[in-house]
Structure 1
Amino acid sequence: MKRKLFYGLLLGFFVISGIAHYSHWDGTVQLILASLAVVFAAAFMGKATESVAHYAGERLGGFLNATFGNAVELIIAIFLIREGPSMHELVKASITGSIIGNLLLVLGLSVLLGGLKYKVQSYNAMLAGSSASLMLLAVIALFIPAVFKSSLVRWENELFSLLVAGILILAYILWLIFSMVTHKDELADEAVEHAEPMWSKGKSVLFLILATVMVAFISEWLVGSVEPFSQRFGLSELFVGAFLIAIIGNAAEHSAAIFMAMKNKIGAAVEIAVGSSLQVALFVAPVLIFVSWLYGSPMDMVFSTYELVAIGTSVFIAASISRDGRTNWYEGVLLLVVYVILGIAFFLV
């Protein structure tokens, strides 16, 4: 019964959101409907990914979970880039929001709710240390182009960003080799019990493709409604991209990480939250740089001071809390406090 209700709501919001877009309904109504539709589509994608992961194996399955978990943000950003250079700042804001949303909101809620149920939760300290170092690498890679921006002309900034993007993608590929091949045993965490898959292998792959297509359509509808919504309510692109779009795009990760933490599988929850942030910073953002070149409107990797401060602050507090491989509910509160403070600051900008 619950499954039928979910499928009904998924299909219903998808159809109504499409009608609202193509019939040119009020921009606010379009945004609300598209947001609800993408939340259900993201949940559907999460279920399909989990089912595929069961057949693919634990390591490859974890990679697929991270990849398709970020598919919503990637697809939304690609549609924004397609609109032209005027949307580049919104793309960067959405990247910022995805990173800080995973590190502060998703991880914060997971640590808080898991900690309320279990006094202290532990996970692989070596994995925590490696992840913290990679987060610092991401901050450095975003910080350097901003520092040298004034010393370079436009084409040099664009070329520098392209080179940095390529280096980050290489670093991410090497991290996958390190974590999934050469040091997979050292980085292994507690055994995670996998429930029986909802569908067969063929149906799982089919549903994953279907979910991705649905997210692509809804993302285009969502992007089309962002600008009129922002103008109507006087919201900055920074706030809309860094918080509104990021929260919507991270909907699938929110629930998955929290449920894992409440089952005392904090290692899996941290991997979802921190792993998603790392993938956005080291892979998704660099890929978007290359995508912008393909569309003929090169985007640089020069983030604003506000965005750099937000990312740097998030990485600092998340690395400080996660590096020892132990968490408690109050550390979750600390992460959420920083997220709320940044949210207020971005809203007032």
Structure 2
Amino acid sequence: MSSPSEHSPLLPNGANHPSDSSFLSRARAAIKAENEPSYINSFKFFVFGSWLNILLIFLPLSFLSHHLNWDAALRFSFSFIAIIPLAKLLGTATEQMSGKLGQTLAGLMNASFGNAVEIIVGIAALFQDQLVIVQNSMLGSILSNILLVLGCSFIGAGTRERESNFQVTAAQASSSLMTLACITLIIPAAYNTLKGNSSVPASTIPSDGVRTGINPDRFDGLLVISRGTAVLLLGVYILYLYFQLRSHSYLFQAQDEGDLEEAEMNLVSAGVALAAVTVITSFCADYLVASIEEFADRYHIPKPFIGLILLPIVANAAEHVTSVWMAMKGQMELTIGICVGSSIQIATFVVPLLVIIGWMSHHELTLFFANFETITFFASVFLVNTLIQDGKSNYMEGVMLITLYLVIALAFWVS
């Protein structure tokens, strides 16, 4: 017969068997706190973590050239180059914060700040009544992502394998949403063509409120269509986030995720860095937009070319490099997510957001694009959908995408 001591607890009330979940939670918290990067290490990583940060030398030059009223070419060029490392820093701070907030909050963070430069440049141009720049830069960001960046990524992946595979269902869902966004931009153009007598975009309306070349009744209709569509697209985008992050998240997971990268910044440092860089970027974007008019007139560079080609390239420079690098490592799901996903963010989140901000601030931004821009957008989305619907890619498909992008750039150069 066994003694009572053989079955009696060594400590009363199960104290020798603490709750596993509570104990593990405290242990993980202690380990996490011990391994948390210090503020100094966080700062060093943020400032010296990329060779691209060398270009931060153009940041003070951007401020000086603006306040000392240097030549328009210098003001434009310095602000243009300064935004490149700032875009990279915004991405770094967002990535470091996302890694500590969990999957859902990380997705919301990336959705909100993934295209922070485009939002900042768009708001700066909107408040300066540069509505042509707002529309062209948004459309240019979409085109650069789905044509230039995706094309370069397909070619980069082609240097690794003869043919690359990716999740078909996720790619088709993303491309279908892009098609929806494309259709919503075609409808205002169709309305203007059928109901109005002018092909002049609503964005050409001067700041004094004179609606040049547009029937006032038709313009009011375009405003109603644009603002209603913007609200609906924001709702669709929220549902898409839920689809991507929760209900069908398995479709968007990489086939080979590899090892998770260790955080290089603590949460407070990343948050402060994100706020500071956002403010600095807003100043640079304001200086850049303010110099476009004079720069374009003095050096005979078409404003549509600046908005559609130059601004999107600089705003997405760091993102472009990341996409190509991921493709060369065989992470095609991540590549598709960066290229097509970023375009979806712009088309269904950033553009509607700017329309609503314009609505609230009495800047009459619409979703009406001229026929040429509308046809260009439709042709680009059609080609991308055709190429990714089989879930495979090769370098020749990348060449096709880049060729179309160069043709579009050439067309806007002579426009």
Which interval holds the TM-score relative to the shorter structure?
A: over 0.9
Q: Which residue of structure 2 lines up, in the alignment, with residue 216 of structure 1? A: 282
Q: 1:92 aligns with which of 117, 130, 135?
A: 135
Q: Which residue of 2 aligns with 1:291?
A: 357
Partner of 1:145: 188
CA distance in 2, matches of 1:282, 1:9: 34
In structure 1, the partner of 2:35 is none
Asked if structure 2 preserves the Cα contact closer than 8 Å seen for 1:135 and 1:278, the reply is yes
Q: Is the 8 A contact 2:168 2:389 kept in 1?
A: yes
Distance in structure 1 (CA, Å) of the matches to 2:58 and 2:283: 12
Match among 135, 152, 158 for residue 109 of structure 1: 152
Give the Cα separation in 1 of the matches to 2:53 and 2:393.
39
Q: Based on CA coordinates, which of the two structures has the bigger radius of gyration?
A: 2
Work out whether residues 253 and 333 of structure 2, in 8 Å CA contact, stay in contact via their aligned partners in 1. Answer: no
1:192 aligned to which of 238, 244, 257: 257
Amino-acid identity (%)? 32
1:51 aligns with 2:96: yes
CA positional deviation for 1:10: 5.0
Residue in structure 1 matching 2:232, options 155, 167, 171: 167
Q: After TM superposition, give the deviation of residue 300 of structure 1 in Å.
A: 1.3
Counterpart among 301, 308, 330 of residue 264 in structure 1: 330
Measure the CA separation in 2 of the matches of 1:7 and 1:248. Answer: 12
Q: 1:192 to 1:49 in 2, by over 3 A?
A: farther
- Checking the alignment, whether the CA contact within 8 Å between 2:230 and 2:353 is kept in structure 1 is yes
Runs of 5+ consecutive residues of structure 1 not aligned to the other structure: none
Name the CA distance, whole Å, in 1 between partners of 2:224 and 2:263.
45
Classify 1:8/1:99 alpha carbon distance in 2 versus 1 (closer, same or farther; 3 Å). closer
1:290 Cα offset (Å): 0.9
Pair 1:226-2:292 in alignment: yes
Question: Partner residue of 2:385?
Answer: 319
Question: Which amino acid letter does the alignment assign opposite residue 258 of structure 1?
Answer: V
Deviation digits for residues 120-162 of structure 1, max 9, x if unmatched?
Answer: 2212111011011111101110001111125252222111210
Cα distance, 1:4–1:259 mapped onto 2, change above 3 Å: closer
In the alignment, is residue 61 of structure 1 matched against residue 126 of structure 2?
no
Structure 1 residue 252: deviation in Å?
2.3
Say if 1:66 and 1:275, in contact at 8 Å, map to a contact too.
no
Give unpaired runs (5+ residues) of structure 2: 1-43, 196-216
- Higher RCO by CA contacts (8 Å cutoff, separation 6 or greater): 1
Q: How many residues align?
A: 347
Q: Residue 283 of structure 2 aligns to which amino acid in structure 1?
A: F
CA drift of 1:326 comes to 1.4
1:5 & 1:109 partners in 2: Cα distance? 22
Q: 1 CA distance for matches of 2:378 and 2:409?
A: 15
CA distance in 1, matches of 2:359, 2:229: 14
Structure number with higher helix proportion: 1
Contact 1:81–1:88, Cα closer than 8 Å, also in 2: yes
8 Å CA contact 2:149–2:323 kept in 1: the answer is yes
Q: Normalization by structure 2: what TM-score?
A: 0.80
- TM-score after normalising by structure 1: 0.94
* Deviation by residue 1:54-103 (Cα, 9 ceiling, x = unmatched): 2123454344334323110111011111012xx21221111110110100
**Amino acid aligned to 2:303:** E
Offset, 1:113: 1.0
Does residue 155 (structure 1) correspond to residue 220 (structure 2)? The answer is yes
> What residue number does 2:27 align with?
none
**Structure-1 separation of matches of 2:55 and 2:175:** 37
Q: Which amino acid in 1 is paired with 2:297?
A: Q
CA distance in 1, matches of 2:243, 2:291: 41
